[in-house]
Chain A
């Protein structure tokens, strides 16, 4: 069966510090991978998605970047965090099935920037 992991679960970082959030998927190959962010009291916004290794599409210009160094690994990074980067970050995966590709979400990482 497929599982998705995110770590860390929670993170408190000072403004200006770097960030690295990791997402890994097990039990599937060549998944589509997604990063969403939920700011406090707001809905989820798609940040990045990837349809293959090294292929990253950015949805919103921002202080963050994403990378996919391996087939089932998706990393969200920042060189210098801003206060506005605080939020709940969710990773999701899906697999092309010819019809609808249901997205499965990870447990999330709660980031607080102080």
Chain B
């Protein structure tokens, strides 16, 4: 069975600090997809990134960066120079490659950026 664990339930930092959100996953599939979503207070899910399991290159998008390490089954998300607008709940998720491609989500990490 697939499982995603986000051990950090809540994180609170001061604006401009860097923060890393951890994600560890379990799957028996040899190929799979990994995701990060942002959920602002409005509740709607905002897609941030999708990573295919055979692409282990780290990715940077502005202040956001993702570190995928297949050897440790981790897909961590770092926000550099955090801003108040980054405050949200962040979800890591895992999807099968074939079939209905159902998403398995972690419990989420509530990130609060204090001014």
Contacts of B108 in A (CB 8 A): 42-44
Cβ 8 A contact of B101, one of A36, A43, A100, A105: A100
Cβ 8 A contact of A102, one of B44, B47, B104, B106: B47
- Interface on chain B toward A: helix, strand, loop, or mixed SS? loop
B102 within 8 A of A: yes
In this complex, how many residues of chain B approach chain A with their Cβ under 8 Å: the count is 22
**A103 and B103 in contact (CB under 8 A), knowing A44-B91, A108-B44?**
yes
A53 within 8 A of B: no
Docked pose: A49 CA to B11 CA in angstroms: 32
18 contacts between A and B (CB under 8 A): A32-B100, A34-B103, A36-B103, A36-B105, A42-B107, A43-B6, A43-B106, A44-B45, A44-B91, A46-B102, A46-B103, A46-B104, A51-B100, A57-B100, A100-B97, A105-B44, A107-B42, A107-B44
B residues whose Cβ falls under 8 Å from a Cβ of A: 4, 6, 33, 42-45, 47, 50, 52, 91, 95, 97, 100-108
Q: Beyond A44-B103, A110-B43: 11 further Cβ-contacts under 8 Å? A: A32-B100, A34-B103, A36-B103, A42-B108, A43-B6, A49-B102, A100-B95, A102-B47, A102-B50, A105-B44, A107-B42
A residues whose Cβ falls under 8 Å from a Cβ of B: 32, 34, 36, 42-46, 49, 51, 57, 59, 88, 90, 92, 94, 100-103, 105-108, 110
